[in-house]
Amino acid sequence: MSDIVAYKLEQPICTITLDDGKVNCLSPQMLDEINAALDQAEKDGAIVVLAGRQGKFSAGFDLAVVGRGGNEAVDMLIGGFRLSERLLSFPMPVVIACTGHALAMGSFLLLSVDYRIGADGAYKIGANEVSIGMTMPRFGVEICRQRLAPAHFHRAVITAEIYSPAGAIEAGFLDEVVPEDDLVAAARDKATALAGLSMPAHTATKLRAREKALQAVREAIEADEAELRF
C-alpha cells in the first residue's frame, strides 16, 4: 500500500488502516488504495478489519476535489459509492473499527459492512450533507434506508442529525461502542469470532439478505452518475 493506507495480514485477519494525517478524506488516491487493499484481502481470503486514525475514521469525500468539479470530482463520488456497494457484497466478513468522527461518505461506509465497533468519546457520526448545502444523492438515501433504524431514517437523511457514538448504536450506524483504548482489540476479537463462520454460507446469505438493497443501491448509483455527468 502507501503512507495513507496500510495493509497488515495476520491470518485469518487483515487490518486495513486509513491515515492521511488529517481527517481521512476519501480522495481519489485513498479510494484507489482502499480498493487495492480489498483486492489483496480477497486474494488472502482474510477477514477484514477497516480502521481509521486516532480520533478520525473519515470525514467523507475530499471537498477540494468536489469544489474543482469536472470528471475528477464525478469519478471520485461514483468511486466512493461503488466502494460501499463492494463492501455490501464483499465475500469475506468486514468489521469497521470506527476510531472517531465518521461523517458523510465516512458514515456511509459504516452502513456498508457487517459489524461496526465505535470508540467512545466526543465524536460525531452521521450524514451531514443537508446541513452543508448538498442534496442527498440517491445513493445516500438508499445506503441509509437499508441499515438505519426506521425511526432515525428521516432524522438522519432529511434533517442531517448527527449522533454521538452511543446514539449511533440506536440509529443504526454502529453495533457497539467500547473504550477508545480497547477498540482495536475488540475489532480483532470480533473478526476472529467471524472467522469461525462458513465463508460460502456467509457470502451466499449476505447476498440473499441484501439482494433488494444491493439492487436499489446499484440503481441509485446509475441514476446519480447519469445526472452528474449530464
* Size of the chain, expressed as the number of residues it contains: 230
Grid coordinates in use for 20? Answer: 492521511
pLDDT tens digits, the chain, 230 residues: what are they?
578 999 999 999 999 999 999 999 999 999 999 999 999 999 999 999 999 999 999 999 999 999 999 999 999 999 999 999 999 999 999 999 999 999 999 999 999 999 999 999 999 999 999 999 999 999 999 999 999 999 999 999 999 999 999 999 999 999 999 999 999 999 999 999 999 999 999 999 999 999 999 999 999 999 999 999 97
pTM: 0.97
Q: CB neighbours of 63 closer than 8 A, spacing ≥ 6?
A: 25
DSSP characters over 159-201: S---B-HHHHHHHTS-SEEE-GGGHHHHHHHHHHHHTTS-HHH
CATH number at residue 95: 3.90.226.10
Inter-CA distances, 168 with 8, 103, 110, 230, Å: 28, 12, 10, 36
Q: Give the number of domains in the chain.
A: 1
Query: How far, in Å, CA of 91 to CA of 127, rounded?
Result: 26
pLDDT of 230 reads 79
Query: How far, in Å, CA of 163 to CA of 128, rounded?
Result: 10
Grid coordinates in use for 4? Answer: 495513507
pLDDT of 1 reads 58
> How many CB atoms are closer than 10 A to CB 134?
14
Q: Residue 74: which domain range?
A: 5-228
pLDDT of 2 reads 72
DSSP structural state of residue 181: G
pLDDT of 53 reads 97
